[in-house]
Structure 1
Amino acid sequence: MSKRQQWTGWGQAQQAQQHYLVEPRYLAGGGDLRHVGEFLRASGWKDIARSSGTMLAFDSPDQMVRVAYQPPGGWQVHGAAHGHQPAWQVTLTPQTPVEIVAGLTDALTKPRSAHAPNVWAPLTEKSWSMQQDDYFVAQSPDRHAVVQYVQAGGDGSQNHWWVGARNEHGPVWNAQATASTPLHLVQSLTTALADPEPVMRPLGHVPLSNRIRVTSVSVMPHQLGAWQQARISAARAAAWSRNWVSSRARTGSKASGYARTR
Protein backbone atom coordinates (compact mmCIF):
# COMPACT_ATOMS: atom_id res chain seq x y z
CA MET A 1 0.00 0.00 0.00
CA SER A 2 1.41 3.41 -0.94
CA LYS A 3 1.77 6.32 1.47
CA ARG A 4 -1.08 8.12 -0.30
CA GLN A 5 -3.37 5.11 -0.01
CA GLN A 6 -2.57 4.75 3.67
CA TRP A 7 -3.45 8.36 4.38
CA THR A 8 -6.80 8.48 2.57
CA GLY A 9 -8.40 7.37 5.84
CA TRP A 10 -8.24 10.88 7.33
CA GLY A 11 -11.69 11.75 6.04
CA GLN A 12 -13.25 8.33 6.36
CA ALA A 13 -14.46 7.54 9.83
CA GLN A 14 -14.13 3.77 9.58
CA GLN A 15 -10.83 3.37 7.73
CA ALA A 16 -7.79 2.34 9.75
CA GLN A 17 -4.84 4.72 9.88
CA GLN A 18 -1.19 3.76 10.04
CA HIS A 19 0.57 4.86 13.22
CA TYR A 20 3.81 3.93 14.93
CA LEU A 21 4.76 3.29 18.52
CA VAL A 22 8.15 4.92 19.06
CA GLU A 23 10.65 4.35 21.85
CA PRO A 24 12.52 5.78 23.60
CA ARG A 25 10.02 8.60 23.84
CA TYR A 26 12.70 11.29 24.16
CA LEU A 27 13.70 10.60 20.53
CA ALA A 28 10.15 10.41 19.13
CA GLY A 29 9.87 13.97 17.78
CA GLY A 30 7.59 16.80 18.81
CA GLY A 31 4.10 15.35 18.33
CA ASP A 32 0.67 17.03 18.39
CA LEU A 33 0.47 20.30 20.36
CA ARG A 34 -3.14 19.54 21.27
CA HIS A 35 -1.88 16.85 23.65
CA VAL A 36 -0.79 19.72 25.90
CA GLY A 37 -3.27 22.43 24.96
CA GLU A 38 -6.51 20.48 25.20
CA PHE A 39 -5.60 19.15 28.63
CA LEU A 40 -5.02 22.69 29.90
CA ARG A 41 -8.29 23.85 28.36
CA ALA A 42 -10.18 20.97 29.99
CA SER A 43 -8.51 21.84 33.30
CA GLY A 44 -10.05 25.29 33.26
CA TRP A 45 -7.11 27.27 31.84
CA LYS A 46 -7.93 30.27 29.65
CA ASP A 47 -7.02 30.12 25.96
CA ILE A 48 -5.32 33.44 25.16
CA ALA A 49 -3.58 32.46 21.90
CA ARG A 50 -5.50 34.98 19.78
CA SER A 51 -4.95 37.92 22.11
CA SER A 52 -1.29 37.06 22.75
CA GLY A 53 -0.45 36.48 19.08
CA THR A 54 1.03 33.03 19.65
CA MET A 55 0.16 29.64 18.18
CA LEU A 56 -0.76 28.23 21.59
CA ALA A 57 -1.10 30.08 24.89
CA PHE A 58 -2.96 29.38 28.11
CA ASP A 59 -3.16 31.21 31.42
CA SER A 60 -3.84 29.37 34.67
CA PRO A 61 -7.13 30.16 36.45
CA ASP A 62 -5.25 32.28 39.01
CA GLN A 63 -3.25 33.97 36.20
CA MET A 64 0.02 33.08 37.92
CA VAL A 65 1.32 30.74 35.19
CA ARG A 66 1.37 30.98 31.41
CA VAL A 67 2.14 28.16 28.97
CA ALA A 68 2.83 29.19 25.38
CA TYR A 69 4.17 27.70 22.17
CA GLN A 70 5.44 29.79 19.28
CA PRO A 71 7.76 28.61 16.52
CA PRO A 72 10.63 28.81 15.99
CA GLY A 73 11.35 29.33 19.67
CA GLY A 74 9.24 26.48 21.05
CA TRP A 75 7.64 26.23 24.48
CA GLN A 76 7.73 28.92 27.17
CA VAL A 77 6.35 28.32 30.66
CA HIS A 78 6.39 31.32 33.01
CA GLY A 79 5.48 31.39 36.67
CA ALA A 80 4.96 34.70 38.48
CA ALA A 81 6.41 35.42 41.89
CA HIS A 82 4.02 34.59 44.68
CA GLY A 83 4.67 34.69 48.43
CA HIS A 84 7.97 32.92 49.09
CA GLN A 85 8.05 31.52 45.55
CA PRO A 86 10.18 33.66 43.20
CA ALA A 87 9.38 33.97 39.51
CA TRP A 88 10.49 31.03 37.40
CA GLN A 89 10.70 29.95 33.77
CA VAL A 90 11.06 26.78 31.70
CA THR A 91 11.88 26.81 27.98
CA LEU A 92 11.64 23.75 25.73
CA THR A 93 12.69 23.67 22.08
CA PRO A 94 10.11 22.75 19.38
CA GLN A 95 11.08 19.10 18.98
CA THR A 96 10.60 18.30 22.66
CA PRO A 97 8.07 15.42 22.65
CA VAL A 98 4.68 16.71 23.76
CA GLU A 99 4.37 13.82 26.20
CA ILE A 100 7.43 15.14 28.04
CA VAL A 101 6.17 18.73 27.91
CA ALA A 102 2.88 17.45 29.33
CA GLY A 103 4.76 15.90 32.24
CA LEU A 104 5.44 19.47 33.34
CA THR A 105 2.24 21.20 32.20
CA ASP A 106 -0.14 18.52 33.51
CA ALA A 107 1.50 18.89 36.92
CA LEU A 108 0.63 22.61 36.88
CA THR A 109 -3.05 21.68 37.02
CA LYS A 110 -2.78 19.30 39.98
CA PRO A 111 -2.34 19.76 43.73
CA ARG A 112 1.25 19.54 44.92
CA SER A 113 2.16 16.30 46.67
CA ALA A 114 2.86 16.42 50.40
CA HIS A 115 6.05 14.43 49.79
CA ALA A 116 9.32 16.29 49.29
CA PRO A 117 10.18 16.30 45.57
CA ASN A 118 13.22 14.42 44.27
CA VAL A 119 14.15 15.27 40.69
CA TRP A 120 16.63 12.39 40.40
CA ALA A 121 14.46 9.58 41.79
CA PRO A 122 12.45 8.89 38.59
CA LEU A 123 15.74 8.59 36.70
CA THR A 124 17.64 6.31 39.07
CA GLU A 125 14.53 4.11 39.33
CA LYS A 126 14.85 3.55 35.57
CA SER A 127 18.59 2.77 35.80
CA TRP A 128 19.89 6.13 34.64
CA SER A 129 23.51 6.65 35.70
CA MET A 130 24.40 9.45 38.11
CA GLN A 131 27.62 11.45 38.15
CA GLN A 132 28.86 14.44 40.11
CA ASP A 133 31.71 16.60 38.90
CA ASP A 134 31.31 20.36 38.58
CA TYR A 135 27.57 19.67 38.43
CA PHE A 136 25.10 16.85 38.95
CA VAL A 137 24.24 14.85 35.83
CA ALA A 138 22.08 11.81 35.04
CA GLN A 139 22.36 9.93 31.76
CA SER A 140 19.94 7.47 30.19
CA PRO A 141 21.08 3.85 29.79
CA ASP A 142 21.38 4.32 26.01
CA ARG A 143 23.35 7.56 26.60
CA HIS A 144 21.01 9.57 24.35
CA ALA A 145 19.37 11.73 27.04
CA VAL A 146 20.82 13.79 29.88
CA VAL A 147 19.58 15.74 32.89
CA GLN A 148 21.96 18.23 34.50
CA TYR A 149 21.86 20.71 37.32
CA VAL A 150 24.34 23.36 36.24
CA GLN A 151 25.96 25.53 38.90
CA ALA A 152 27.11 28.66 37.07
CA GLY A 153 28.60 31.61 38.92
CA GLY A 154 29.50 32.11 42.53
CA ASP A 155 26.24 33.68 43.67
CA GLY A 156 24.07 30.94 42.14
CA SER A 157 22.00 33.41 40.13
CA GLN A 158 22.79 31.58 36.89
CA ASN A 159 22.19 28.06 38.20
CA HIS A 160 19.71 26.10 36.10
CA TRP A 161 18.38 22.71 35.09
CA TRP A 162 19.26 21.44 31.62
CA VAL A 163 17.61 18.46 29.92
CA GLY A 164 18.36 17.27 26.42
CA ALA A 165 18.42 14.40 23.95
CA ARG A 166 20.49 13.60 20.88
CA ASN A 167 20.60 10.90 18.21
CA GLU A 168 23.21 9.97 15.63
CA HIS A 169 22.54 13.22 13.75
CA GLY A 170 23.21 15.46 16.76
CA PRO A 171 21.10 17.32 19.34
CA VAL A 172 17.34 16.81 18.93
CA TRP A 173 15.85 19.00 21.67
CA ASN A 174 16.62 20.57 25.01
CA ALA A 175 14.86 22.19 27.93
CA GLN A 176 16.12 24.67 30.49
CA ALA A 177 14.55 25.56 33.82
CA THR A 178 15.62 28.30 36.17
CA ALA A 179 16.83 27.18 39.58
CA SER A 180 13.74 28.85 41.06
CA THR A 181 11.41 26.45 39.20
CA PRO A 182 9.42 24.48 41.81
CA LEU A 183 11.13 21.12 42.23
CA HIS A 184 7.91 19.11 42.00
CA LEU A 185 7.50 20.45 38.43
CA VAL A 186 11.05 19.47 37.50
CA GLN A 187 10.40 16.03 38.99
CA SER A 188 7.23 15.70 36.89
CA LEU A 189 9.34 16.52 33.84
CA THR A 190 11.98 13.88 34.66
CA THR A 191 9.25 11.34 35.41
CA ALA A 192 7.80 11.82 31.92
CA LEU A 193 11.29 11.80 30.41
CA ALA A 194 12.22 8.44 31.95
CA ASP A 195 8.85 6.77 31.29
CA PRO A 196 9.63 3.60 29.25
CA GLU A 197 6.20 3.53 27.57
CA PRO A 198 6.42 4.24 23.82
CA VAL A 199 4.53 7.17 22.31
CA MET A 200 2.41 7.15 19.16
CA ARG A 201 3.23 9.07 16.00
CA PRO A 202 1.31 9.09 12.69
CA LEU A 203 2.79 8.09 9.37
CA GLY A 204 5.20 10.72 8.15
CA HIS A 205 6.02 12.00 11.64
CA VAL A 206 8.53 9.39 12.77
CA PRO A 207 12.10 10.73 12.99
CA LEU A 208 14.69 9.26 10.64
CA SER A 209 17.01 7.65 13.17
CA ASN A 210 18.46 4.22 13.84
CA ARG A 211 18.45 5.00 17.57
CA ILE A 212 14.69 4.45 17.92
CA ARG A 213 12.57 1.31 18.00
CA VAL A 214 9.38 1.48 15.96
CA THR A 215 6.31 -0.76 15.98
CA SER A 216 3.73 -0.32 13.23
CA VAL A 217 0.07 -0.33 14.31
CA SER A 218 -3.23 0.22 12.49
CA VAL A 219 -5.59 2.40 14.48
CA MET A 220 -9.24 3.21 13.84
CA PRO A 221 -10.15 6.91 14.12
CA HIS A 222 -12.69 6.19 16.85
CA GLN A 223 -9.94 4.54 18.90
CA LEU A 224 -7.75 7.63 18.64
CA GLY A 225 -10.71 9.80 19.56
CA ALA A 226 -11.51 7.63 22.58
CA TRP A 227 -7.92 7.81 23.88
CA GLN A 228 -7.82 11.57 23.47
CA GLN A 229 -11.24 11.97 25.07
CA ALA A 230 -10.22 9.86 28.07
CA ARG A 231 -7.34 12.24 28.77
CA ILE A 232 -9.58 15.30 28.39
CA SER A 233 -12.34 13.77 30.52
CA ALA A 234 -9.85 13.06 33.30
CA ALA A 235 -8.77 16.71 33.25
CA ARG A 236 -12.37 17.93 33.35
CA ALA A 237 -13.23 15.61 36.23
CA ALA A 238 -10.22 16.80 38.23
CA ALA A 239 -11.09 20.45 37.53
CA TRP A 240 -14.70 19.87 38.60
CA SER A 241 -13.52 18.20 41.81
CA ARG A 242 -11.18 21.08 42.65
CA ASN A 243 -13.89 23.65 41.98
CA TRP A 244 -16.39 21.71 44.11
CA VAL A 245 -13.97 21.48 47.04
CA SER A 246 -13.12 25.17 46.69
CA SER A 247 -16.80 26.10 46.56
CA ARG A 248 -17.55 24.01 49.66
CA ALA A 249 -14.65 25.62 51.50
CA ARG A 250 -15.93 29.12 50.67
CA THR A 251 -19.47 28.19 51.69
CA GLY A 252 -18.22 26.75 54.98
CA SER A 253 -16.16 29.86 55.66
CA LYS A 254 -19.16 32.13 55.10
CA ALA A 255 -21.34 29.96 57.32
CA SER A 256 -18.76 30.06 60.11
CA GLY A 257 -18.55 33.82 59.85
CA TYR A 258 -22.34 34.11 60.00
CA ALA A 259 -22.48 31.87 63.09
CA ARG A 260 -19.84 33.93 64.87
CA THR A 261 -21.74 37.12 64.04
CA ARG A 262 -24.89 35.74 65.54
Structure 2
Amino acid sequence: MSRKQWTGWSAPRAGAEQAEQHYLIEPRHLAGGGDLRHVTEFLRASGWKDSSPRGGPFVFDSPDNQVCIGYDPHTEPGGWTVSGKAAGAQPSWHATFGRQTPVEIVAGVTDALTRPRSAHAPNAWAPLQQQDWTAERGEDHVFSAVHPGRDTWLQYRPAEHGQALWWAGARTDHGQTWDAVFTSTTPLYLIEAFATALADPQPVMRPREHVPSTSRIRTTSVSVLPSQLSAWQQARIAAARAATWARFATTGTRTPSAATSPYATARGRRR
Protein backbone atom coordinates (compact mmCIF):
# COMPACT_ATOMS: atom_id res chain seq x y z
CA MET A 1 0.00 0.00 0.00
CA SER A 2 1.42 3.38 -0.92
CA ARG A 3 0.54 6.83 0.35
CA LYS A 4 0.57 10.15 -1.48
CA GLN A 5 -1.25 13.43 -1.87
CA TRP A 6 -4.06 13.39 -4.43
CA THR A 7 -2.61 15.11 -7.49
CA GLY A 8 -4.72 17.23 -9.78
CA TRP A 9 -6.34 19.23 -6.96
CA SER A 10 -4.91 22.32 -5.34
CA ALA A 11 -3.03 21.92 -2.08
CA PRO A 12 -5.15 22.55 1.05
CA ARG A 13 -4.65 25.76 3.00
CA ALA A 14 -3.17 25.33 6.43
CA GLY A 15 -5.84 25.25 9.11
CA ALA A 16 -8.73 25.54 6.67
CA GLU A 17 -10.13 22.01 6.59
CA GLN A 18 -9.27 18.62 7.94
CA ALA A 19 -8.11 16.24 5.22
CA GLU A 20 -9.78 12.82 5.15
CA GLN A 21 -8.16 9.55 4.24
CA HIS A 22 -9.47 7.85 1.10
CA TYR A 23 -8.10 5.07 -1.07
CA LEU A 24 -7.66 4.66 -4.78
CA ILE A 25 -8.60 1.07 -5.58
CA GLU A 26 -7.68 -1.02 -8.58
CA PRO A 27 -8.91 -2.96 -10.35
CA ARG A 28 -12.08 -0.94 -10.20
CA HIS A 29 -14.39 -3.91 -10.63
CA LEU A 30 -13.44 -5.12 -7.12
CA ALA A 31 -13.85 -1.74 -5.40
CA GLY A 32 -17.34 -2.34 -3.99
CA GLY A 33 -20.56 -0.43 -4.58
CA GLY A 34 -19.58 3.16 -3.80
CA ASP A 35 -21.68 6.33 -3.43
CA LEU A 36 -25.08 5.99 -5.13
CA ARG A 37 -25.12 9.72 -5.87
CA HIS A 38 -22.51 9.12 -8.56
CA VAL A 39 -25.43 7.70 -10.58
CA THR A 40 -28.51 9.42 -9.16
CA GLU A 41 -27.24 13.01 -9.15
CA PHE A 42 -26.07 12.66 -12.74
CA LEU A 43 -29.53 11.44 -13.76
CA ARG A 44 -31.18 14.33 -11.92
CA ALA A 45 -28.83 16.83 -13.56
CA SER A 46 -29.61 15.27 -16.93
CA GLY A 47 -33.31 16.04 -16.60
CA TRP A 48 -34.52 12.64 -15.39
CA LYS A 49 -37.54 12.64 -13.08
CA ASP A 50 -37.01 11.45 -9.53
CA SER A 51 -40.09 9.27 -8.93
CA SER A 52 -38.77 7.71 -5.72
CA PRO A 53 -41.47 7.06 -3.13
CA ARG A 54 -40.95 8.69 0.24
CA GLY A 55 -38.75 6.39 2.30
CA GLY A 56 -38.64 3.88 -0.54
CA PRO A 57 -36.10 2.80 -3.15
CA PHE A 58 -34.66 5.11 -5.80
CA VAL A 59 -36.69 5.36 -9.00
CA PHE A 60 -35.77 7.63 -11.93
CA ASP A 61 -37.70 7.99 -15.19
CA SER A 62 -36.21 9.29 -18.44
CA PRO A 63 -37.63 12.55 -19.84
CA ASP A 64 -39.51 10.59 -22.54
CA ASN A 65 -40.71 7.97 -19.98
CA GLN A 66 -39.18 5.17 -22.04
CA VAL A 67 -36.58 4.05 -19.49
CA CYS A 68 -36.81 3.51 -15.74
CA ILE A 69 -33.81 3.12 -13.42
CA GLY A 70 -34.22 1.89 -9.87
CA TYR A 71 -32.12 0.92 -6.88
CA ASP A 72 -33.47 -1.14 -3.99
CA PRO A 73 -31.10 -2.39 -1.27
CA HIS A 74 -33.86 -4.08 0.74
CA THR A 75 -35.06 -6.80 -1.62
CA GLU A 76 -33.16 -9.98 -2.47
CA PRO A 77 -30.85 -10.00 -4.27
CA GLY A 78 -31.36 -6.22 -4.45
CA GLY A 79 -29.38 -3.67 -6.40
CA TRP A 80 -29.95 -1.77 -9.65
CA THR A 81 -32.60 -2.42 -12.28
CA VAL A 82 -32.76 -0.68 -15.66
CA SER A 83 -35.77 -1.27 -17.90
CA GLY A 84 -36.62 0.05 -21.33
CA LYS A 85 -40.06 0.02 -22.95
CA ALA A 86 -40.69 -1.26 -26.45
CA ALA A 87 -40.45 1.54 -29.01
CA GLY A 88 -40.74 1.01 -32.76
CA ALA A 89 -38.35 -1.76 -33.83
CA GLN A 90 -36.76 -1.84 -30.37
CA PRO A 91 -38.38 -4.46 -28.10
CA SER A 92 -38.50 -4.00 -24.36
CA TRP A 93 -35.32 -4.82 -22.45
CA HIS A 94 -34.08 -5.24 -18.90
CA ALA A 95 -30.77 -5.16 -17.03
CA THR A 96 -29.84 -5.80 -13.40
CA PHE A 97 -26.72 -5.01 -11.36
CA GLY A 98 -25.91 -6.47 -7.95
CA ARG A 99 -25.57 -4.18 -4.95
CA GLN A 100 -21.77 -4.42 -4.93
CA THR A 101 -21.41 -3.49 -8.60
CA PRO A 102 -19.21 -0.35 -8.52
CA VAL A 103 -21.28 2.74 -9.25
CA GLU A 104 -18.68 3.83 -11.80
CA ILE A 105 -19.46 0.70 -13.82
CA VAL A 106 -23.23 1.07 -13.45
CA ALA A 107 -22.80 4.68 -14.60
CA GLY A 108 -21.29 3.40 -17.83
CA VAL A 109 -24.82 2.31 -18.76
CA THR A 110 -26.90 4.97 -17.02
CA ASP A 111 -24.74 7.86 -18.32
CA ALA A 112 -25.04 6.46 -21.86
CA LEU A 113 -28.82 6.56 -21.53
CA THR A 114 -28.70 10.33 -21.00
CA ARG A 115 -26.75 10.98 -24.22
CA PRO A 116 -27.63 10.73 -27.92
CA ARG A 117 -26.58 7.42 -29.46
CA SER A 118 -23.37 7.38 -31.45
CA ALA A 119 -23.59 6.73 -35.18
CA HIS A 120 -20.86 4.07 -35.08
CA ALA A 121 -21.70 0.37 -34.98
CA PRO A 122 -21.27 -0.79 -31.35
CA ASN A 123 -18.80 -3.54 -30.46
CA ALA A 124 -19.09 -4.82 -26.90
CA TRP A 125 -15.84 -6.83 -27.09
CA ALA A 126 -13.54 -4.08 -28.36
CA PRO A 127 -13.02 -2.19 -25.03
CA LEU A 128 -12.09 -5.46 -23.32
CA GLN A 129 -9.69 -6.56 -26.06
CA GLN A 130 -7.96 -3.18 -25.87
CA GLN A 131 -7.20 -3.87 -22.19
CA ASP A 132 -5.85 -7.37 -22.89
CA TRP A 133 -8.83 -9.33 -21.67
CA THR A 134 -8.74 -12.93 -22.90
CA ALA A 135 -11.35 -14.03 -25.44
CA GLU A 136 -12.70 -17.53 -24.78
CA ARG A 137 -15.24 -19.77 -26.46
CA GLY A 138 -16.92 -22.40 -24.33
CA GLU A 139 -19.47 -25.08 -24.91
CA ASP A 140 -22.78 -24.29 -26.60
CA HIS A 141 -21.19 -21.30 -28.36
CA VAL A 142 -20.77 -19.32 -25.13
CA PHE A 143 -18.41 -16.40 -25.77
CA SER A 144 -16.48 -14.75 -22.93
CA ALA A 145 -13.90 -12.07 -22.27
CA VAL A 146 -11.94 -12.61 -19.03
CA HIS A 147 -9.87 -10.09 -17.08
CA PRO A 148 -6.12 -10.85 -16.88
CA GLY A 149 -6.56 -11.49 -13.15
CA ARG A 150 -9.21 -14.13 -13.95
CA ASP A 151 -11.55 -12.52 -11.41
CA THR A 152 -13.99 -10.73 -13.72
CA TRP A 153 -15.72 -11.60 -16.98
CA LEU A 154 -18.27 -10.59 -19.60
CA GLN A 155 -20.09 -13.43 -21.28
CA TYR A 156 -22.64 -13.84 -24.04
CA ARG A 157 -24.85 -16.89 -23.75
CA PRO A 158 -26.92 -17.85 -26.82
CA ALA A 159 -30.58 -18.72 -26.49
CA GLU A 160 -31.18 -20.92 -23.48
CA HIS A 161 -34.77 -21.85 -22.81
CA GLY A 162 -35.68 -19.41 -25.57
CA GLN A 163 -33.76 -16.44 -24.13
CA ALA A 164 -30.19 -15.36 -24.84
CA LEU A 165 -28.44 -13.01 -22.42
CA TRP A 166 -25.28 -11.10 -21.54
CA TRP A 167 -23.79 -11.88 -18.14
CA ALA A 168 -20.92 -10.24 -16.26
CA GLY A 169 -19.56 -10.76 -12.80
CA ALA A 170 -16.64 -10.45 -10.40
CA ARG A 171 -15.22 -12.60 -7.64
CA THR A 172 -12.62 -12.28 -4.90
CA ASP A 173 -11.03 -14.75 -2.51
CA HIS A 174 -14.35 -14.59 -0.60
CA GLY A 175 -16.48 -15.69 -3.56
CA GLN A 176 -18.58 -13.87 -6.12
CA THR A 177 -19.17 -10.22 -5.20
CA TRP A 178 -21.55 -9.00 -7.92
CA ASP A 179 -23.07 -9.86 -11.24
CA ALA A 180 -24.85 -8.00 -14.03
CA VAL A 181 -27.39 -9.50 -16.42
CA PHE A 182 -28.72 -8.00 -19.66
CA THR A 183 -31.54 -9.46 -21.72
CA SER A 184 -30.67 -10.20 -25.34
CA THR A 185 -32.88 -7.29 -26.43
CA THR A 186 -30.74 -4.74 -24.55
CA PRO A 187 -29.39 -2.25 -27.13
CA LEU A 188 -25.84 -3.27 -27.99
CA TYR A 189 -24.49 0.26 -27.51
CA LEU A 190 -25.39 -0.06 -23.82
CA ILE A 191 -23.48 -3.34 -23.56
CA GLU A 192 -20.51 -1.56 -25.16
CA ALA A 193 -20.84 1.32 -22.66
CA PHE A 194 -20.89 -1.20 -19.81
CA ALA A 195 -17.83 -3.01 -21.19
CA THR A 196 -15.97 0.29 -21.56
CA ALA A 197 -16.58 1.20 -17.91
CA LEU A 198 -15.77 -2.36 -16.80
CA ALA A 199 -12.42 -2.40 -18.64
CA ASP A 200 -11.36 1.13 -17.68
CA PRO A 201 -7.92 0.79 -16.03
CA GLN A 202 -8.33 3.96 -13.95
CA PRO A 203 -8.73 3.31 -10.20
CA VAL A 204 -11.76 4.52 -8.28
CA MET A 205 -11.87 6.22 -4.88
CA ARG A 206 -13.45 4.88 -1.71
CA PRO A 207 -13.51 6.18 1.90
CA ARG A 208 -11.35 4.31 4.39
CA GLU A 209 -14.30 2.44 5.91
CA HIS A 210 -15.47 1.19 2.50
CA VAL A 211 -12.31 -0.54 1.27
CA PRO A 212 -13.15 -4.19 0.48
CA SER A 213 -11.41 -6.84 2.53
CA THR A 214 -9.62 -8.83 -0.15
CA SER A 215 -6.08 -9.50 -1.27
CA ARG A 216 -7.12 -9.08 -4.93
CA ILE A 217 -7.03 -5.26 -4.88
CA ARG A 218 -4.25 -2.69 -4.88
CA THR A 219 -4.77 0.43 -2.79
CA THR A 220 -3.16 3.85 -2.69
CA SER A 221 -3.86 6.09 0.31
CA VAL A 222 -4.69 9.71 -0.57
CA SER A 223 -5.51 12.77 1.54
CA VAL A 224 -8.67 14.53 0.38
CA LEU A 225 -10.33 17.69 1.67
CA PRO A 226 -14.14 17.60 1.81
CA SER A 227 -14.24 20.66 -0.46
CA GLN A 228 -12.02 18.94 -2.99
CA LEU A 229 -14.20 15.87 -3.08
CA SER A 230 -17.29 18.06 -3.41
CA ALA A 231 -15.71 20.00 -6.28
CA TRP A 232 -15.02 16.77 -8.15
CA GLN A 233 -18.61 15.63 -7.65
CA GLN A 234 -19.98 19.01 -8.73
CA ALA A 235 -17.84 18.98 -11.88
CA ARG A 236 -19.54 15.76 -12.96
CA ILE A 237 -22.98 17.24 -12.26
CA ALA A 238 -22.11 20.46 -14.10
CA ALA A 239 -21.06 18.43 -17.15
CA ALA A 240 -24.44 16.67 -17.14
CA ARG A 241 -26.29 19.98 -16.87
CA ALA A 242 -24.30 21.54 -19.71
CA ALA A 243 -24.86 18.55 -22.00
CA THR A 244 -28.58 18.50 -21.23
CA TRP A 245 -29.16 22.16 -21.98
CA ALA A 246 -26.96 22.02 -25.09
CA ARG A 247 -29.08 19.14 -26.37
CA PHE A 248 -32.32 21.04 -25.76
CA ALA A 249 -30.87 24.11 -27.49
CA THR A 250 -29.73 22.23 -30.61
CA THR A 251 -32.80 20.02 -31.02
CA GLY A 252 -35.33 22.75 -30.30
CA THR A 253 -37.28 20.44 -27.98
CA ARG A 254 -39.11 21.68 -24.92
CA THR A 255 -36.81 22.56 -22.05
CA PRO A 256 -37.15 20.57 -18.80
CA SER A 257 -39.93 21.48 -16.44
CA ALA A 258 -39.24 22.83 -12.98
CA ALA A 259 -39.62 19.31 -11.59
CA THR A 260 -37.04 17.78 -13.93
CA SER A 261 -34.77 20.76 -14.55
CA PRO A 262 -31.15 20.01 -13.73
CA TYR A 263 -31.05 23.41 -12.02
CA ALA A 264 -33.98 22.63 -9.76
CA THR A 265 -33.23 22.31 -6.05
CA ALA A 266 -33.03 18.60 -5.23
CA ARG A 267 -35.04 17.41 -2.26
CA GLY A 268 -34.53 14.31 -0.23
CA ARG A 269 -31.10 13.46 -1.63
CA ARG A 270 -29.82 10.30 -0.05
CA ARG A 271 -26.47 8.65 0.03
User: Normalized against structure 2, the TM-score is what?
Assistant: 0.84
Alignment partner, residue 17 of structure 2:
14
Matches of 1:106 and 1:77 in 2, distance apart? 12
Matched residue count: 236
Give 1:58's aligned residue.
60
Q: Distance in 2 between matches of 1:128 and 1:147?
A: 10
Task: Look up the match of 1:67.
Answer: 69
Structure 1 segment 98-247 matched on structure 2, within 5 A: 98-133=103-138, 134=140, 135-153=142-160, 157-247=162-252
From the superposition, tell whether residues 13 and 87 of structure 1 become closer, same or farther in structure 2 (CA, over 3 Å). Answer: farther
Q: Quick one: which amino acid aligns to residue 88 of structure 1?
A: W
State which structure, 1 or 2, has the greater radius of gyration over its C-alpha atoms: 1
The alpha carbon displacement at 1:47 in A equals: 0.4
Asked whether the 8 Å contact 1:151–1:159 carries over to 2, the reply is yes
Deviation of 1:54 after TM superposition, in Å, equals: 3.5
1:39 alignment partner AA: F
For the aligned residue pairs, the C-alpha RMSD in angstroms reads: 1.7
Cα deviation per residue 1:84-113 (whole Å; 9 max; x = unaligned)? 000000000100000000000000000101
Q: What residue is the counterpart of 1:253 in the other structure?
A: none
User: Following superposition of structure 1 onto structure 2, how do residues 75-90 of structure 1 map, counting pairs within 5 Å?
Assistant: 75-90=80-95
Residue identity matched to 2:122:
P
Q: Is the CA contact (8 Å cut-off) linking 1:43 and 1:235 kept in structure 2?
A: yes
**How far does residue 249 in structure 1 lie from its aligned partner after superposition?**
10
- 1:54 touches 1:69 (CA, 8 Å); kept in 2? no
Aligned residue type for 1:59: D
CA distance in 1, matches of 2:202, 2:150: 18
CA distance in 2, matches of 1:48, 1:141: 40
Residue matched to 1:255: none
Q: Is the 8 A contact 1:45 1:60 kept in 2?
A: yes
- Map of 2:258 onto structure 1: none
Percent identity of equivalent pairs: 59
Say if 1:243 and 1:158 are closer, same or farther in 2 by CA, change over 3 A.
same
1:13 Cα shift? 7.1
User: Is 1:29 aligned with 2:32?
Assistant: yes
> With structure 1 as the length reference, what TM-score do the two structures score?
0.87
Q: Offset at 1:151?
A: 1.5
Shift of 1:23: 0.3
Matched AA of 1:42: A
- Runs ≥4 in structure 1, deviation > 4 angstroms? none
In the alignment, the residues of structure 2 paired with residue 231 and residue 55 of structure 1 have an alpha-carbon distance, to the nearest angstrom, of 23
Distance 1:248 1:82 in 2: 19
Whole-Å separation in 2 of the counterparts to 1:66 and 1:54? 15
Gaps of 5+ in 2: 1-14, 256-271
For residue 122 of structure 2, give the secondary structure of its aligned residue in structure 1: coil
Question: Which is helix-richer, 1 or 2?
Answer: 1
Cα distance change, pair 13–49 in 1 and its aligned pair in 2 (3 A): farther
Q: Corresponding residue for 1:3? A: none
What CA distance in whole angstroms lies between the structure 1 residues aligned with 2:56 and 2:104?
Answer: 21
CA distance in 2: counterparts of 1:249 and 1:228, whole angstroms: 27
Amino acid at match of 2:84: G
Verify the 8 A CA contact 1:42 1:235 in the aligned structure 2.
Answer: yes
Task: Go from structure 1 to structure 2 and tell me whether the alpha carbon gap of 1:13 and 1:163 turns closer, same or farther (over 3 Å shift).
Answer: farther
**Number of the residue aligned with 1:45:** 48
- Give the 3-state SS of the residue equivalent to 2:145 in structure 1: strand
Long gaps (5+) in structure 1: 1-11, 251-262
Higher relative contact order (CA 8 A, sep 6+): 2
Are residue 93 (structure 1) and residue 98 (structure 2) matched?
yes
